Amino acid sequence: MELKELGEFGLIDRLAAQAARSLRPGTIGIGDDCAVFRASPQHDLLLTTDMLVENIHFIRALTTPWDLGRKSIAVNLSDIAACGGTPRHAVVSVALPPNLDVEFALGLFQGICDCAREHNVDIVGGDTTSSPRDLVINVALTGEVEPGRAVLRSGAKPGDLIFLTGPAGDAAAGLDLLLHHRQLVGEYPALAAAYHNPTPHVAEGRIIGQSGYATAMIDVSDGVAADLTHLCRASGVGARIFADKLPKSTMFRDYAMRVGLNIHEFAVSGGEDYILLMTVDPAHASALANLLAVECRRPLHHIGVMTADTGLEYVLPDGSAQPLIRRGWDHFRQSET
């Protein structure tokens, strides 16, 4: 069987099962945003990694090297944020095609270093090699969190409210803009920037983690639908979210109307926003919202509620509900799943 038949998530399931058989107790392994393990009595260590591959995750001609460098570390910062941790040290591997311009390589590293410095992360090592054709970047990032305080995907309870830390759909709209409506990029710069240069919610994740109010958290990389599905599966519960509660930026609404995107579909299934999705006991919801507003001027957006059955429902503005099917790009099948 070839990979495109099994699909990405099928393969990940099999690989995770294979790795889990060799895990020691006390380590939280594959399947969360980060691995978490006790490093000392004073802190737990977080570890995460992400690989960006040319023509899969990015198209060289559509990005600047600096944006690409930033994004390659930002996606890892977002994983640390989703566990409520403080990012610390990164190692960076790059496979560079021989015909790549030296200035592109240096710009890429400048983006990585700049984004790292903004988040007090040290780039402490790496591996530089060549690639026959495609540019590949891998970042592995460590983080720290107080012992036992990492926020996982698995703690959501029925009745918990679901929140987002920012608007959904901007990055997917940005990709649509870059791929299909290049002539409009000048009119929607924030959408292109949301796709090229996402802002990981590191400070937000840390405040949420320290507050102890979030029962579960995940970052939105595959899309709200796909990532909420991951969280529900890990927690053994279901969810109901509301299309008209999903926060959408004015620019996204305007662009979607103009080019004829299904706005509710795009907001729930578009990936790469790198906002945080969390579940909170209703008794703590306003305290958490106040905390985020005060500490980092970030509003929390209530989008739904966790349910006892394991189904996932998407309630449209007309009140009709449809099953929330995990949507998201399957890299092997090259199609929506």
Give me the least distance between CB of 26 and a copy of itself, in Å please.
Answer: 10
102 forms part of the interface with a copy of itself (CB under 8 A) = yes
Q: Site residues for a copy of itself, window 126-145 (CB under 8 A)?
A: 126-134, 136, 138, 140, 142
Q: From the list 60, 62, 64, 100, which residue makes contact with a copy of itself (rule: CB under 8 A)?
A: 100
Q: Give the strands of the sheet with 161-164, arranged side by side.
A: 214-219, 276-280, 161-164, 301-307, 238-242, 312-315, 321-323
Give me the least distance between CB of 86 and a copy of itself, in Å please.
Answer: 13
Count of residues interacting with a copy of itself (CB under 8 A): 82
Closest CA to 304 of 114, 159, 141, 197: 159
44 forms part of the interface with a copy of itself (CB under 8 A) = no
CB atoms inside a 10 Å sphere around CB 220? 26
Give me the least distance between CB of 265 and a copy of itself, in Å please.
Answer: 24
How far is 51 from 36, CA to CA, in rounded Å?
20
- What phi and psi values does residue 100 have, to the nearest 5 degrees? -70, 140
Q: From the list 58, 66, 109, 252, which residue makes contact with a copy of itself (rule: CB under 8 A)?
A: 109
Tokens, residue 158: 């029925």
Q: Site residues for a copy of itself, window 61-90 (CB under 8 A)?
A: 89
| DSSP helix/strand/coil, 164 | strand
CB atoms inside a 10 Å sphere around CB 16? 13
105 forms part of the interface with a copy of itself (CB under 8 A) = yes
Q: From the list 19, 294, 308, 321, which residue makes contact with a copy of itself (rule: CB under 8 A)?
A: 19
Q: From the list 44, 57, 83, 167, which residue makes contact with a copy of itself (rule: CB under 8 A)?
A: 57
267 forms part of the interface with a copy of itself (CB under 8 A) = no
32 forms part of the interface with a copy of itself (CB under 8 A) = yes
Query: Under a CB-based contact definition with an 8 Å cutoff, are residues 95 and 130 in contact?
Result: yes
